A and B are shown apart, each in its own frame.
Chain A
């Protein structure tokens, strides 16, 4: 009889997890959220490299009793090592720099302005978030979703508003994947049919190897002096780019854009997923952040296309304002969207390279925007 009782209570122990789960509906909801992210990544091909580890991390952390984000949990260990230290986004940035060709931007420096205009949504959203009662640091972390750049958003929010990290990073990555859906309606609405059809001249001006090598150096030094708070972001992306353009460290360049970026993406994804515990994620704040982030990206597009219209006017109609939409940093999705839209209205219109210039400008622009915000906050004495 004793044997039977011991066996029964042993078997009963196996049901403890189910009982905990049944008692906590929020964890059940989060399991579905994790499942949804997996579905988007696997079935819908939305940023699978990120959403698969994030979704799975989310499921892991919401299974009761295992406590993988607890003091001894392995997700906590990865998180503390790479996200709390801001190391993961910076390592990813070296890879992004190694993959980015600033050639189209340097061939057409005016597109850099579009990359700057594409960041205005960030600032408008910060103001809006302040207005809605978020603290200054929280507002900056929310606005930076408008950078449309995962690592930048993670870097800024993990440093200054870690409690918002799960919502901010999920918003940044999902909206990045949704750029081809979010942008076209705004682009169509904002441009006249004559503007949509403008075919731009091909840019053939070759950029010298020296210019391409000087660019990352000059930007690093100038950016570092103006906005020292953002130097980790700017410096890592430019290090990667200098390695690529110098051509003398092919092994390091390859490792940065492949092995390192891949390993870090996995660790980053799973630990971001690990931050998505029910208590941290199921709050009204999350919904507001998702909405504000969406707005930030829409506003970026509006400002980018609006500035494109201005450039079009100033150039006497040589610039197609649609390329302004590529001023956000979702690289190279936004540039592809521009090529597709331009081609829809004029088959002889090839905007890809012009859009790539604006897009590379947006990549740097979003980092500079984040850096400027951080340095302004430092100047105001809000952060150390």
Chain B
């Protein structure tokens, strides 16, 4: 089982900084959301490998929507 990374706030995905299969360290930026005209980097809660990316750039996301999985 992996770790789900969810959106902490509603916003628009403006950048996906990783690709599936990539290994990441804790606190690495995974995705950049734009919320309230502000860029918010969403970081890895733990080290691991990006398993599945569930959104694409320009997608609108809601709070708690799962963005990607890390295993």
Contact = CB atoms under 8 A, between A and B. Distances in A.
Specify which of B6, B9, B37, B40 lies most central, judged by the most chain A CB atoms within 10 Å of its CB: B9
A352 B27 contact: no
Interface residues of B, number: 16
A272 B27 CA distance: 48
Contacts, number: 39
A339 B40 CA distance: 8
Contacts of B1: none
Specify which of B36, B40, B45 lies most central, judged by the most chain A CB atoms within 10 Å of its CB: B36
A188 interface: no
Given A204-B63, A347-B27, A352 B43 contact: no
Interface residues of A, number: 14
Interface in B11-54: 27, 35-38, 40-43, 45
A353 B9 contact: yes
A204 B40 contact: no
Nearest to B27: A347
B45 A350 contact: no
Interface of A: 202-204, 332, 335-336, 339, 343, 347-348, 350, 352-353, 356
A348 B64 contact: no
Contacts of B36: 332, 335-336, 352, 356
B27 to A, nearest CB: 4
Contacts of B45: 348
24 contacts: A202-B6, A202-B7, A202-B8, A202-B64, A203-B63, A204-B63, A332-B36, A336-B36, A336-B38, A339-B40, A347-B27, A347-B41, A348-B27, A350-B8, A350-B9, A350-B42, A352-B8, A352-B9, A352-B35, A352-B38, A353-B8, A353-B35, A353-B63, A356-B36
A350 B64 CA distance: 12
B37 to A, nearest CB: 8
Specify which of B6, B8, B37, B38 lies most central, judged by the most chain A CB atoms within 10 Å of its CB: B8
A336 B36 CA distance: 8
A353 B11 CA distance: 11
Contacts of A353: 8-9, 35, 63
A339 B37 CA distance: 12
Nearest to B29: A347
Contacts of B7: 202
Contacts of B37: 332
